[in-house]
Amino acid sequence: MEKYNEHFLMDTKTVVDYVKDNVDFFDEDAQVEACEISDGNINYVFRVYDKKTGKSLVVKQADKFLRSSGRPLDLHRNKIEAEILATEGELAPGYTPEIYKYDDVMCALTMEDISAYKNLRKELMSGKVFPKLAEDITEFMVNTLLPTTDLVMDRHEKKEKVKLFVNVDLCDITEDLVLTEPYYNYKDRNIVTEGEEAFVEETLYNNEHLKAEVGELRDNFMNNAQALIHGDLHSGSIFINEEGLKVIDPEFAFYGPMGYDIGNVIGNLFFALANKVVTDPENEEFIGWVKGAIADIYDLTFAKLNKKFDECVTFPLYNTEFKLNYLNKVMADTIGYAGTEMVRRTVGDSKIAEISSVTDNETRIKLDKLVVLTGVQFINNRKLYKTGEQVVAEFERVVTEL
Ligand code: ADP
Ligand code: MG
């Protein structure tokens, strides 16, 4: 449509026209309205609904500029998001919102409204437990990750995919904010809690061994085009209810190490755990559940990858000792990237609610140290763990030494 042959940023009025003009969704006599629901700092997200019936959908639009700071950001990320949602929807049906339309001029994605599911981070903050979380999230990850590697995929097709998913700007954010700056504050963007400057200097900035380990993880992130990963699978990208979960916001997707996604999930559960251990230590129900969920995610990921490998990988060279070496490397990456996530959300500039909501300085320092010290252990010892229980035990050891 001529009206939409050039990108412009929509508002709650123009998005209603856009949906009416482009998507066959609402009835002729529908009373369509829209509101903005974004809590992110990158894009614009509108809920568009019929006032009469409550029927609704969501439009996510990317702008040329980052919403929070106004700096330019490649619009190609919106195409990447649409492409990966389609791929994930095929590989793991029901775990992502259904896509109704992708418009690469307007950079707008029109999709299923998943408001029946709630932000996992917020749900965990409020102390809710989800017995099916480990089972569901490992199902999503294993089904989307292993089949997109070239152990399974045709190698020509895979190279085309690698090309399509080159995601320069958003990988750049991860390479800096996650895998550089917490250890080498060269852009002076870290935010360190008052009173723990010396701790951060000693534990992170002046820790040469740690820098070497993070260097390895950074290099692996940049050069190991292993699988099509979500790239930002933190607990604010997972929406959940008693029935199941949906994964959204994959605009950081690219071909990278699958341990980065799995590690993000595990690292973010440690924020929920550490927050409660420090602020609500009597809450044994939650603390026990989240420890179990973390251990289960580690163990189930390994078991399901192993099974999927047997089902999907047919190349003779791989059906050897190679399998165990490969899976061990994935699990080592997983714990390493759980560690880098934990460190970066504590000293980096993208804090999460589990950390920033703790305003009492003494409690906050205790929480920060718990998370950072566990993260450092994870980075250094990532190749040593064999079970989820050992991973949780590492955290428990840091708690007792605090
Ligand atoms: P950003 O890329 O700016 O971080 P997100 O994709 O994370 O944007 O979306 C921001 C918020 O909008 C989400 O936290 C969620 O609350 C809401 N949202 C996004 N997509 C949907 C959807 N399909 N259904 C319902 N809510 C959504
Ligand atoms: Mg987001």
Which residue range forms the structural domain that includes residue 85? Answer: 2-112
Whether 110 is in the pocket of ligand 1, judged by its Cβ within 6 Å, is: no
Give the residue from 74, 93, 112 where a domain finishes.
Answer: 112
* Dist. CA 117 → ligand 1 center (Å): 11
Q: Are residues 167 and 294 in the same domain?
A: yes
User: Is 39 buried (19+), middle (13-18) or exposed (0-12) by CB count in 10 A?
Assistant: exposed
Q: Are residues 136 and 86 in the same domain?
A: no
As for how many domains the chain has, the answer is 2
Atom of ligand 1 nearest to the CA of 44: 3
* Dist. CA 381 → ligand 2 center (Å): 30
46's enclosing H/E stretch is strand 44-50
Whether 266 is in the pocket of ligand 1, judged by its Cβ within 6 Å, is: no
pLDDT of residue 69: 78
In this structure, the residue with its CA closest to atom 4 of ligand 1 is 40
Give the residue from 112, 141, 173 where a domain finishes.
Answer: 112
Q: What does the pLDDT look like over 157-166, one tens digit per residue?
A: 999 999 999 9
Q: What does the pLDDT look like over 349-394, one tens digit per residue?
A: 899 999 999 999 999 999 999 999 999 999 999 999 999 999 999 9
Q: Are residues 153 and 35 in the same domain?
A: no
pLDDT > 80? residue 39: no
- Chain mean pLDDT for the chain: 96
Whether 38 is in the pocket of ligand 1, judged by its Cβ within 6 Å, is: yes
* Dist. CA 278 → ligand 2 center (Å): 27
Q: Are residues 240 and 370 in the same domain?
A: yes
Q: What does the pLDDT look like over 335-354, one tens digit per residue?
A: 999 999 999 999 998 999 99
pLDDT of residue 64: 85
Whether 37 is in the pocket of ligand 1, judged by its Cβ within 6 Å, is: yes
Q: Are residues 94 and 147 in the same domain?
A: no
In this structure, the residue with its CA closest to atom 6 of ligand 1 is 249
Q: Which ligand is closest in space to the CA of residue 234?
A: 2
For residues 204, 210, 212 and 218, what is the CA-based torsion angle, rounded to 10 degrees?
A: -70
Q: Are residues 169 and 199 in the same domain?
A: yes
Whether 58 is in the pocket of ligand 1, judged by its Cβ within 6 Å, is: yes
pLDDT of residue 239: 98
Q: Are residues 242 and 292 in the same domain?
A: yes
Mean pLDDT, to the nearest integer, of 270-297? 98
Give the residue from 112, 136, 159 where a domain finishes.
Answer: 112
**Are 200 and 347 contacting, i.e. CB atoms less than 8 angstroms apart?**
yes
pLDDT of residue 23: 97
Can you give the CATH number for the domain in which 124 is found? 3.90.1200.10
Span between the terminal Cα atoms of the chain, in Å: 62
- CA-based nearest residue to 235, from 94, 129, 122: 122
Question: Ligand 1 pocket check: which of 44, 100, 249, 252 to mutate, most ligand atoms within 8 Å of Cβ?
Answer: 249
Whether 63 is in the pocket of ligand 1, judged by its Cβ within 6 Å, is: no
Q: Are residues 90 and 229 in the same domain?
A: no
- CA-based nearest residue to 28, from 53, 11, 7: 53
Q: What does the pLDDT look like over 79-131, one tens digit per residue?
A: 999 999 999 999 999 999 999 999 999 999 999 999 999 999 999 999 999 99
Atom of ligand 1 nearest to the CA of 114: 24
Atom of ligand 1 nearest to the CA of 43: 3
**Are 301 and 138 contacting, i.e. CB atoms less than 8 angstroms apart?**
yes
Q: Are residues 44 and 100 in the same domain?
A: yes
Q: Are residues 129 and 105 in the same domain?
A: no
In this structure, the residue with its CA closest to atom 5 of ligand 1 is 249
